[in-house]
């Protein structure tokens, strides 16, 4: 059932952590969901319920608990498939988005010469300057291992993707285009249609890092026409230790596995093994079952709110915050300054105060933000910054949270006498 009104105050009641008293006796103003989200009671209950009632190793036992564990785990897969408008067999559970992307990079690297995924010197992998280290280093290292060339989209002064040289960047030798859906630093939402069309025209696959998008707005992998997608459960109200790798079924079934071991095989001899079909091919070992079940509960929670409502709420809050920021002296928003095509992440710098010191003062008022380079060191260097302070919003934040943030920023300026 959809809720009629979107009420952060009502939502916060599902999250025990908001009852916590922070430094200085303040309430928690959690503005670090870009790093990890808080978890509602429904998610924790689902995990506990799995352990208390259905715990068994999936895909193995012949007993009742194994049956129930299977049903819970495979049921979670169906919920995730529905969330992305994907097929059930296309949803691979990993331990994190980082593992999802590494699984792709190592799988491509393990491909036999001549395979669609094999890379040779002269082949090209294209990323962007906006990438989080998790969608940069696996490709950078794959390029090093295979002799392929790593190229990247630059950014415009506003912090958007610079597509002006797309025809030169994505050429006939391009095999992989791996790009973020939304910058974790600047909030920029990357328009995909041109990039996907161009990549497919030259026969490249498109890998989407959806860590900052999937928790915040509706994603339809069929409409996006991409080939692979990764996101992490813990940024989407889910537990840690669970990530999603989505891939087109025909592609997954043509790929080499990354991790090998139990569960991912069809047949095994002492000297050889044949791989199971996807998704099992990419799920070696007993998986993180309770976490998959917890993530499914998180997705149900989000769907109950309605992803369009979530997006609308965050867009309104971001517009409200950007307006407040524009009136602050000595504070510079880094990245797009209007709420169009941008998510609910606001990075900023303050004249005369280092981000760590900003974060420290904000913490004194109960405001939790991220400071530093946000695992996007090359982007920081390009922007000529040592770091930023980043506030990121989610379903439980409201305008009162933004007001506390703004007041605390002004207090930091007073404290450091700037």
Partner 1 sequence: MELDSLYQEVILDHYKNPLHKKLKSSYSAQVHHVNPSCGDEITLNVTLEGGLVKDVSWEGVGCSISQASTSVAADLMIGKTLEQALSAVESFSALMSSKGTAAGDEEILEDGVAFAGVSKFPARIKCALLGWMAFKDAALQSTGK
Separation between Cα atoms, residue 22 and residue 363, nearest integer Å: 8
Name which of 80 and 362 has its Cβ closer to partner 1: 362
First to last CA, the chain: 50
List own/partner pairs for 70-77 with CB under 8 A and 24 or more apart: 72/289, 72/293, 73/287, 73/289, 73/292, 73/293, 75/293, 75/296, 76/292, 76/293, 76/295, 76/296, 77/279, 77/292
Taking the complex as a whole, the smallest distance from the CB of residue 235 to partner 1 amounts, in Å, to 19
Taking the complex as a whole, the smallest distance from the CB of residue 106 to partner 1 amounts, in Å, to 24
User: Which 3-state string (H, E, C) describes 5-53?
Assistant: CCCHHHHHCCCHHHHCECHHHCECEECECCCCCCCCHHHHHHHHHHHHH
Before 279, cis peptide (omega within 30)?
A: yes
**Are 334 and 186 in contact, with CB atoms under 8 Å apart?**
yes
Name which of 59 and 373 has its Cβ closer to partner 1: 373
Name which of 51 and 377 has its Cβ closer to partner 1: 377
Dihedral in degrees, nearest 10, Cα atoms 79, 84, 90, 93:
-60
Taking the complex as a whole, the smallest distance from the CB of residue 364 to partner 1 amounts, in Å, to 5
Taking the complex as a whole, the smallest distance from the CB of residue 368 to partner 1 amounts, in Å, to 12
Name which of 77 and 390 has its Cβ closer to partner 1: 390
Contacts of residue 4, defined as CB under 8 A and 6 or more positions apart, other chains included, come to none
Taking the complex as a whole, the smallest distance from the CB of residue 373 to partner 1 amounts, in Å, to 4
Name which of 297 and 412 has its Cβ closer to partner 1: 412
Name which of 287 and 355 has its Cβ closer to partner 1: 355
Site of interaction with partner 1 (CB under 8 A) = 23-24, 353-357, 360-361, 364, 371-373, 377, 380, 386-387, 415-416
Name which of 288 and 349 has its Cβ closer to partner 1: 349
What token pair was written down for 146? 């295979």
What token pair was written down for 4? 């009629």
Separation between Cα atoms, residue 301 and residue 285, nearest integer Å: 28
User: Which 3-state string (H, E, C) describes 148-215?
Assistant: CEEEEEEECCCCCEECCCHHHHCCCCEEEEEEECECCCCCEECCCHHHHHHHHHCCCEEEEECCCCCC
Q: Answer yes or no: 211 catalytic.
A: no
Partners of 243 in beta bridges? 94, 232
- Residue of 375, 376, 380, 395 marked catalytic: 375
What token pair was written down for 138? 């696996």
Separation between Cα atoms, residue 416 and residue 413, nearest integer Å: 5
Separation between Cα atoms, residue 229 and residue 394, nearest integer Å: 21
Taking the complex as a whole, the smallest distance from the CB of residue 39 to partner 1 amounts, in Å, to 22
With tokens 């999937």, the residue in question is 214
Taking the complex as a whole, the smallest distance from the CB of residue 295 to partner 1 amounts, in Å, to 27
Just list the catalytic residues.
375
């Amino acid at each position: 059932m959809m809720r009629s009104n979107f009420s952060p105050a009502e939502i916060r009641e599902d999250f025990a952590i908001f009852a916590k008293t922070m430094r200085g006796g303040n309430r928690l103003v959690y503005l670090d969901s870009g790093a990890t989200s808080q978890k509602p009671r429904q998610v924790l209950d689902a995990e506990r319920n799995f352990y208390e009632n259905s715990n068994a190793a999936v895909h193995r036992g012949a007993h009742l608990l194994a049956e129930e564990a299977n049903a819970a785990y495979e049921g979670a897969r169906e919920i995730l498939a529905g969330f992305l408008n994907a097929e059930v067999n296309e949803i691979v559970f990993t331990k994190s988005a980082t593992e999802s992307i590494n699984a792709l990079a190592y799988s491509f690297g393990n491909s036999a010469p001549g395979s669609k995924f094999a890379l040779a010197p002269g082949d090209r992998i294209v990323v962007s300057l906006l990438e989080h280290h998790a969608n940069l280093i696996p490709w950078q290292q794959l390029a090093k291992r295979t002799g392929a060339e790593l190229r990247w989209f630059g950014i415009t002064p506003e912090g958007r993707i610079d597509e002006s040289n797309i025809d030169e960047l994505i050429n006939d030798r391009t095999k992989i285009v791996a790009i973020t859906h939304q910058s974790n630093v600047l909030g920029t939402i990357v328009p995909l249609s041109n990039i996907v069309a161009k990549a497919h025209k030259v026969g490249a696959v498109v890998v989407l890092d959806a860590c900052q998008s999937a928790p915040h707005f509706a994603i339809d992998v069929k409409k996006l026409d991409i080939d692979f997608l990764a996101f992490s459960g813990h940024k989407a109200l889910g537990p840690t230790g669970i990530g999603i790798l989505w891939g087109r079924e025909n592609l997954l079934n043509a790929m080499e596995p990354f991790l090998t071991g139990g569960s991912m095989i069809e047949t095994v001899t002492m000297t050889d093994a044949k791989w199971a079909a996807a998704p099992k091919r990419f799920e070696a070992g007993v998986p993180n079952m309770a976490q998959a079940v917890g993530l499914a509960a998180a997705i149900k929670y989000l769907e109950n709110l309605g992803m369009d409502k979530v997006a609308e709420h965050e867009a309104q809050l971001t517009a409200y915050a950007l307006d407040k920021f524009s009136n602050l002296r000595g504070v510079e928003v880094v990245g797009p300054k209007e709420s169009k095509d941008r998510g609910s992440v606001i990075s900023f710098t303050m004249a005369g105060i280092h981000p760590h010191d900003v974060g420290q003062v904000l913490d004194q008022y109960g405001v939790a933000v991220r400071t530093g380079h946000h695992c996007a060191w090359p982007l920081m260097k390009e922007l000529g910054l040592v770091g930023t302070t980043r506030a990121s919003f989610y379903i439980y934040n409201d305008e009162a949270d933004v007001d506390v943030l703004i007041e605390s920023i002004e207090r930091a300026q007073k404290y450091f006498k700037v």
